[in-house]
Chain A
Amino acid sequence: MADTDSVFEFLHMQIVEYIHDVHGKESENNATTKLEEMGFTIGQRLAERFTKETARFKDDLDVMKYICKEFWTALYKKQIDNLRTNHQGVFVLQDNRFRLLTQISDTEEFIVPAAKYLSLPCGLIRGALANLGIPSIVGAEITTMPMCKFTINIQKH
């Protein structure tokens, strides 16, 4: 059985480091955008492949549930722990133990530097949603390591 988990984590770390090295010189924002873009293309393709045989989704909430359960499990081996919505296009996905953060020390001082490991995953969600017909803006924040919240703002469509 292949165990690509650790390889993926190492690869992701190298990518984040590289992008911040090359594109983050002028501003942190450039690097964040680049990583987000990369995540977007990956998410789009993954969603395309995963949902090939899936029944049609009823509505946005249905898609969101799919992202929280199957998509998340496929990528990170666990479901989203909490899904909340204001029923006006804002969804908050909370992962109490986000896999890409578990290798980083959980002390408070790492909260800020750890944020750069969330850009690509944000793009992944946005890409997957875009592929399922939902344009959105996705942001993430860490309050305590390794817990993190992804906020999805659905754009009118």
Chain B
Amino acid sequence: MSRQNSARADGKKVSSELFTLTYGALVAQLVKDFESDEAVNKKLDEMGYNIGVRLIEDLIAKGNVGRCHDLRETADIIAKLGFKMFLGVTPVVTKWSTAADEFSLILENNPLAEFVELPSGHENLNYSNILCGVLRGALEMVQMEVEISFVQDALRGDDTTELRVKFIKRLEDAIPAGEE
């Protein structure tokens, strides 16, 4: 019986496929439920936010990270620890603004979109928009307000997938984690 040593031996890969496909089923459902791509993007962002505010605890507990002293350090942790730990990829941090309050995360391959092809008629859909919400929610829990958007998406024919992160302000008092 050669059954044991086939694809399943790589348990990590399989569970990430479960994740990818589950996310795909969610997006498909949202596209059915909402009339516009913008509404889908918004909902994905919202769901991502709810995940982010919880995921940050996981990251801090498992990742053994302290406080970040500047945005460069934050960017580093997001890319090398956060993305690595939860999605298994390490995006490249680049395109810093001169004031060092904005940077881009370039994803060579996007694990969320592994099996995806966007049908025509969804030009405004940010398929992986949940990532924006996750980052926003997670950073809010460490007192940082940020604005995140997709500036490029390989699914829409761009060369790469690029997330732009813009630091807005430091949140003074911890805001209680309310769900949107």
Contact with B along A118-156 (1 / 0, CB 8 A): 001000000000000000000000000000000000000
Q: Does A112 contact B (CB under 8 A)?
A: no
Given A46-B21, A75-B18, also A19-B51 (CB < 8 A): no
**Contact, CB under 8 Å: B7 / A55:** no
Q: Can you name the residue of chain A whose Cβ is closest to the Cβ of B48?
A: A14
Partner of B51, one of A7, A50, A73: A7
Contacts of A7 in B (CB 8 A): 19, 51, 55, 86-87
CA distance A53 to B8 in the complex (A): 10
Given A2-B87, A46-B21, A74-B11, also A18-B3 (CB < 8 A): no
Q: Can you name the residue of chain A whose Cβ is closest to the Cβ of B34?
A: A22
Q: Does A86 contact B (CB under 8 A)?
A: no
Contacts of B1 in A (CB 8 A): 55
Contact with A along B1-18 (1 / 0, CB 8 A): 111101110011011111
CA distance A28 to B92 in the complex (A): 44
Q: Does B36 contact A (CB under 8 A)?
A: no
Contact with B along A57-101 (1 / 0, CB 8 A): 000000000100011011101000000000000000000000000
Contacts of B19 in A (CB 8 A): 4, 7-8, 11
Contact with A along B122-148 (1 / 0, CB 8 A): 000000000000000000000000000
**Contact, CB under 8 Å: B2 / A55:** yes
Given A6-B58, A11-B19, also A42-B11 (CB < 8 A): no
Contacts of A12 in B (CB 8 A): 22
Q: How far is the CB of B31 from chain A (nearest CB, A)?
A: 13
Q: How far is the CB of A53 from chain B (nearest CB, A)?
A: 4
CA distance A141 to B80 in the complex (A): 41
Q: Can you name the residue of chain B whose Cβ is closest to the Cβ of A14?
A: B47
**Contact, CB under 8 Å: A38 / B55:** no
CA distance A53 to B88 in the complex (A): 25
**Contact, CB under 8 Å: B18 / A53:** no
Contacts of B3 in A (CB 8 A): 54-55, 66, 70
CA distance A51 to B14 in the complex (A): 12
Q: How far is the CB of B68 from chain A (nearest CB, A)?
A: 21
Q: Does B109 contact A (CB under 8 A)?
A: no
Q: How far is the CB of A5 from chain B (nearest CB, A)?
A: 7
CA distance A71 to B15 in the complex (A): 10
**Contact, CB under 8 Å: B17 / A46:** yes
**Contact, CB under 8 Å: A11 / B23:** yes
Q: List 16 A-B contacts (CB under 8 A).
A: A2-B16, A2-B84, A2-B111, A4-B86, A6-B55, A6-B58, A8-B18, A10-B50, A18-B47, A39-B25, A46-B17, A50-B14, A53-B6, A73-B8, A75-B15, A120-B22
List 9 other contacts, CB 8 Å, given A11-B23, A38-B22, A50-B8: A4-B12, A4-B87, A8-B18, A10-B51, A41-B28, A50-B14, A53-B7, A54-B3, A55-B1
